[in-house]
Structure formats: C-alpha cells, structure tokens
Structure 1
C-alpha cells in the first residue's frame, strides 16, 4: 500500500490490499477457526493461543494509516462489518449476484459530485476490504482534509465487480457523511481564519460513529471537545439545579475527581466570579450575545478559557471571534451537517 500523498506530488501507483473475508469467516477451503491466508494479521489456523483477535483484520498498512490519523483500526473494522452486514442481512446482494458474472473484475472511481472537504477515504477502503473476496487494488488521489471540486476523482479501486457493487452503498454512506461534516466544519474554520478563536464540536454525534465524526471535524479544521463523559467534567444547568448551585456543583466535582478538567456553563455574567474563585478551567457562555461575550472576556481577563455556545451561526461567527473568546461550540457540525455528494462510478472497461 502507499503512504499519504504530499500535496503537489503525482498520485502513487495502485497497491494491493490483504483482505479479511466479511464477518471474519474463513474461505471454503480453509479450516474453521483461526485466521486464513487472506487475513491481514498473517496468523493462520495454527496461531498461538495467546494471539489477540482484536489485532486481526485490516491490511497492516491500512491499519497504520488509520492509527496515524487518530482512529482505532479495530473500531473502523467493526463499523465496516456492521455496515455491510446490515445491508446483507445474512443473505446476498440478489441484484448483483443475478446480473454480474462471478469472475468479472472492474475498476471504479469514487468521484465528488460537488465541491467540499473530504474525510473518510481510509474508512471507505476498510469497508471494501471486508466485503471483497479477491485482491483489492487501491489508487489514492487525494487525502482526508483536502478540498475537492465537483467531478474530481478521489479514490480508484479495482477488484471483483460483485464485491464493488455489494460494498458500494456502505462505503459511500460513511464517506459522504464524514465528508459532509468536514465540509461544514471547514466553512466555520474559514470564517474564523485569522482570529484566535477555534470552532469546536460537541457530543451530539451519531451513536456508534462518534470517533469517526469527530475525526471528520478535525479534517475540516475544527477542534474536538471531550470524546466521552469521562474525559472532562462539564457542569450544565441540570447539574446546577441538582447540586444546589454552580459553585457547589463545581466543588463536588473537584472533590470527587480532583485531576479532571472542569468546564462550567454559565448563563449570566454574575455567575462568573464565583466559579472563577473555585478554580474553573473553562467557562461555557450559554446564549450570550456578542456584547455580553465581550463583557465576559473582559471580566475573566485570561483567568480561564471561554467557550461560546447556543444559537451560533456562520453569519455571526466573526462577531463572536472579535470578542476574544477561545472556542465556538457548534453541535450542528455533527448533528445537522448535510452529506457531501460522492458517487462510485464503474468504468466501462471492466474485464471478465
């Protein structure tokens, strides 16, 4: 497989991937149990009993590329299997099996139908690699985070035609979704360019896809907030009500988890000083106007970071950035981003 392309250099030649059959099932002529020759881990049926099956699966270089991007290859492989198996539902692709000869081989191009920022190309590769039953050649033409134009070919793949068509929708569902998030994030990052303010995501993500969706935010130039409830504390209005006050809620978190960063949501200027006195690391300014945000920045005077949240739009992004706030929290990056339209186009020169 190839390494990521340096901008401005020619595309690398096609490469071949080592494949894991769908669902991890061995080929018909292989013994049941353990991995077969098609598995990227290289461990055959006689693998050591201590071998960790969670390391088994994707082509090693593809797994390395995912790891370098901050993604867990095991998680990506699991998502790929779930997506394809949901489509097959324990059966077969009846349309493709009926219309495509078993031995037919084809080349197909992932092509952008509209301009945007791409994310999830290696994820799409992972989907195809778990459904393909023959060698998969991959030619990478752009990288995640690149801006692309309508009509631009992003990735070319060559393998059995049946496998391409069976995995097409699952691969595109993820690629279009992640590229849509990256494209939406890029619009915010562009609006904030030249300021000290960064756009940041939330936990308003699709269940099971948080790691991928937050990766797409990074591809678009955004910053990740916490990945889980255990990463950091975020004291919001319901915590305040239950604890009996903002300062009291903060003290309880500090006492129970002294090493965890604590962010506190405030919705009035008069709540800021008591929370700062307790030692808050970051304040979430909920539904503050730009004028109120500027007053909060002046009041805090660098004693904590500040994050604006609530009803933010691209049109007012520059106004908030001008106040000196550290982050803009935008849940819409993940919960409302439209997909980036990308298609898989089978070339007409497929061969039998």
Structure 2
C-alpha cells in the first residue's frame, strides 16, 4: 500500500483530529486482534502496514491465504495506546472486507476444483478499493480478471449495437498484439462468429446452462473450441455455480465475489 493511499484511508476515519484520544494520556500497551469466525485470512499485510505507519510493532504467525478458526489471534500489537486505538477501525475494516471476499472465493474455487474451471471476479468493486478487493480474490484462489480498462479489451453488447461485431473487432486489433480481445455474446450463433473473427476470449453472457452446452458442442464440431477461452458470466450465484462449471467452459466470472460477500468478523482487545 502506498503511503498517500494509506494516509487517505486513515484521514477518512480520523478526520481533522481524534476528538477523544487526543485528550487522553498516551500509554504503552499490548493488544491483540482476533478473528471471531472461521474463514480465509486476507488483509493481514495491509493491517500490518497500517500499524507500522503509526509506530506500532506487530508480531504474527499467520499469512494471507491461511484458513483461520474463530478465536485465533491474528496480530499481537505493542505501542502507543493512542496510535493503536486511532488506527484500529481502519485495520479491522481491511481485514474484515478482504477476508470476507477471500473466504467466499475459496468456497467457490473448492466447489468447482474438479472441473478445472477458473473462478474470476469482475469490475463490480467498491470505488477506491478495487485493488484490495481483487487482491482478496487472488488470495482466495480466484482470478482478478481486468483491474482496469487498459488490461484487455472486452467488446460488449453496446459496442456491438453501435459498431457491429466485425467493425468493433477491427478497431480492437489496433490496440496491438499484446492485448487480448474478448467478445461478449448471448447466443451460439454470435459465439461462432466471434470465434471465426479470432477473439481470444468469448464471454457467454446471461446464457442458461443448456445454451452453453449447445454452444460448446457447436464450437467443437466446427473445430473452433480449442482456439478460444470460454467465459460464462451474468448472475451466476453459489447455487448455480456447479451446474455452470460442468458445462465445459474455462472461466466463470462472478460479480458477487466482491459486491455480495459478507465481512469476516474481527476484533481488537487490549491486554
């Protein structure tokens, strides 16, 4: 985490000054952060960075990606009472938010491991917090997909409505050979067209399972399947995940990993 970025997060919580803690005498204290429920740990590096920035020393035996159990001590802290209590909430927010995402992601990854499908997130992220949310997905074993619009080109339905698939693809090729091009389709016919154009990735958007199976079959018949990565997307939730994963696709992108994951509960206690 960059220092200006860190200071922005801290300033959001502390404000102009800490109204109460600035009135209290500062003391040297020991404290600990514990997790209150089972899950996958993420955000530990960020929490350590926050406390280090304000001169608080930390010791720990865990690392991001570890499975933790409710009651485990995640961080032991020693330092200024003012610094620890001022920065407590920001550190806990990072741990709770990122661990919640990592926990849900790991659940999805484990559920579909036998299929070989890759679980990815989307750009449906919290403004200003995308990098950390996508890092949490990666910690959970998922794929970050695009971090921003410079990573790759996705020709979406609105691009196709405005320019047509062929013209949009022609413009996309001008981005250079290093950038992958993905085309979003909603039926088997458009998927074949996208594959024939030379798309690197085809997004099967809002297709039901039977249509995806049919599309995969047709692409195989036309000997186009091996030349493209197939990604399923669009309101794919936990209860639907396994049936989609077993259709023969390569990637499932799930907005819910970031927009619907619940936080993991952490707390800080002074010894």
Specify if TM > 0.5: yes
Please tell me whether residue 85 in structure 1 is matched to residue 5 in structure 2: no
**Match of 1:179, SS?**
helix
Question: Hey, what does 2:162 align to over in structure 1?
Answer: 242
CA deviation string 1:220-262 (max 9, x = no partner)? 110110111011000111111111x222211221135443200
- 2:226 and 2:254 map into 1 onto residues whose CA distance is 23
In structure 2, the residue matched to 1:210 is 130
1:217-236 correspondence to structure 2 within 5 Å: 217-236=137-156
1:1-352 equivalences under 5 Å are 73-74=1-2, 77-91=3-17, 93-99=18-24, 101-102=25-26, 104-132=27-55, 136-243=56-163, 245-300=164-219, 301-347=225-271
> What is the distance in 2 between the residues matched to 1:109 and 1:294?
51
Q: Which has the higher contact order (CA 8 A, sep 6+)?
A: 2
CA distance in 2, matches of 1:255, 1:160: 56
How far the C-alpha of 1:314 sits from its partner, in A, is 1.1
Counterpart-to-counterpart distance in 2, 1:79 and 1:213: 15
1:261-315 deviations in Å (ceiling 9; x for gaps): 0000000111022211110000000111111111222222322010000111112
Counting helix residues as a fraction of each chain, which structure ranks higher? Answer: 2
CA distance, structure 2, for counterparts of residue 293 and residue 188 of structure 1 = 20
Task: Return closer, same or farther for 1:255/1:86 CA change in 2, 3 Å cut-off.
Answer: closer
The 1-side partners of 2:79 and 2:217 are apart by: 60
TM-score, structure 1 normalization: 0.73
**4+ residue stretches of structure 1 with deviation over 6 A?**
none
State the Cα distance separating 1:131 from its structure 2 match.
Answer: 2.8
Q: Structure 2: how far apart are the matches of 1:252 and 1:97? A: 58
- Give the count of matched residue pairs: 266
2:60–2:76: 8 Å Cα contact kept in structure 1?
yes
* Structure 2 length-normalised TM: 0.93
The runs of 5 or more residues in structure 1 that have no matched partner are: 1-72, 348-352
Once residues 89 and 96 of structure 1 are traced to their aligned partners in structure 2, the CA distance between those partners, rounded to angstroms, is 13
* Larger CA Rg, structure 1 vs 2: 1
- SS of aligned partner of 1:107: strand
Q: Secondary structure at the match of 1:283?
A: strand
Contact 1:123-1:174 at 8 Å conserved across structures:
yes
